[in-house]
Amino acid sequence: MSLIKLAEKVRDIRSDIKVRRQVEERLKEFELIGKSDKLIWLREMTFCILVANFSALNAYNMALELERSGLLLYGKRQEIISLLRSMGHRFYNMRADFIVRARGTLDEVYSVLPRLPDFEARDWLRKRIKGFGMKEASHFLRNLGRKDLAIIDRHILKVLLKYGVIKDLPKTLTRKRYISLEKSLREVAEMCDLNLAELDLYLWYSETGFVFR
């Protein structure tokens, strides 16, 4: 197995017109989010905080409920804890703390990010936002419409393991290792004439059977 085999798999998935349209629609949605107001940015930031080691669908539903209830912008830490706990998040205390802290940086994030290229933006976010590492920062930026960053989560790592790109599933990724794996994924994307944002959605589909975020 190799990067070439992985590229062949991605091309095969992409040949499905229905899946390709879903990917295209999702990427258009991300571009619109990048042009949206601060509340939408905070919702996406919150989703990226909640999804770490958790279900993507459940994390997004929680972010939506925080937005709908008004707690996202105005909720106290304990109120956010109560909502996350009631909806089944395992790490409700820590995630609530991260969300409140992220909310405090929102004006700065909204002002600074548009001025930074992808890689600088990612490094700035992971240093500035409590709860953000390389993956979370990449995820947030992709959901704002950025296209040249890889989101290396457990689903993507399983794909890389399956195709022999890595020998085992690492518990954590250093910045250096993350960038190395991102380089391998960029090679696959180039073989398929895709950007990394597109590739991520196809790889996610290959593991889960649906296109999400």
Judgement on whether residues 50 and 20 belong to the same structural domain of the protein: no
CB 102 within 8 A of CB 46: yes
Report if residue 213 sits inside a domain: no
**Residue length of the chain:** 213
Side-chain-side CA neighbours of 167 within 13 Å: the count stands at: 0
Q: What CATH code is carried by the domain that includes residue 106?
A: 1.10.340.30
Residue identified by tokens 């600088």 is: 120
Catalytic residues: 135, 153
Task: Find how far residue 122's CA is from the centre of its chain.
Answer: 12
Judgement on whether residues 178 and 139 belong to the same structural domain of the protein: no
Instruction: Give me the amino acid identity at 122.
Output: R
Give pTM, 2 decimals.
0.95
Judgement on whether residues 114 and 188 belong to the same structural domain of the protein: no
User: How many secondary structure helices (H) and strands (E) does the chain include?
Assistant: 13, 0
Which pLDDT does position 211 carry in this prediction?
A: 86
Judgement on whether residues 48 and 107 belong to the same structural domain of the protein: yes
Which pLDDT does position 210 carry in this prediction?
A: 85
pLDDT along the chain (213 residues), means of 10: 90 96 96 97 98 92 97 97 97 98 97 97 97 97 97 92 91 94 97 97 91 82
Q: Give, for 203, the enclosing helix (H) or strand (E).
A: helix 196-208
Question: What burial class does residue 53 get, using C-beta atoms within 10 Å of its C-beta: 0-12 exposed, 13-18 middle, 19+ buried?
Answer: exposed
Q: What is the DSSP string of 158-200?
A: HHHHHTTSSSS--S---HHHHHHHHHHHHHHHHHTT--HHHHH
Judgement on whether residues 27 and 41 belong to the same structural domain of the protein: no
Contacts for 113-116: CB closer than 8 Å, 24+ residues apart: 113/141, 113/144
Domain boundary among 143, 169, 200: 143
Domain that holds residue 155: 3-31+150-208
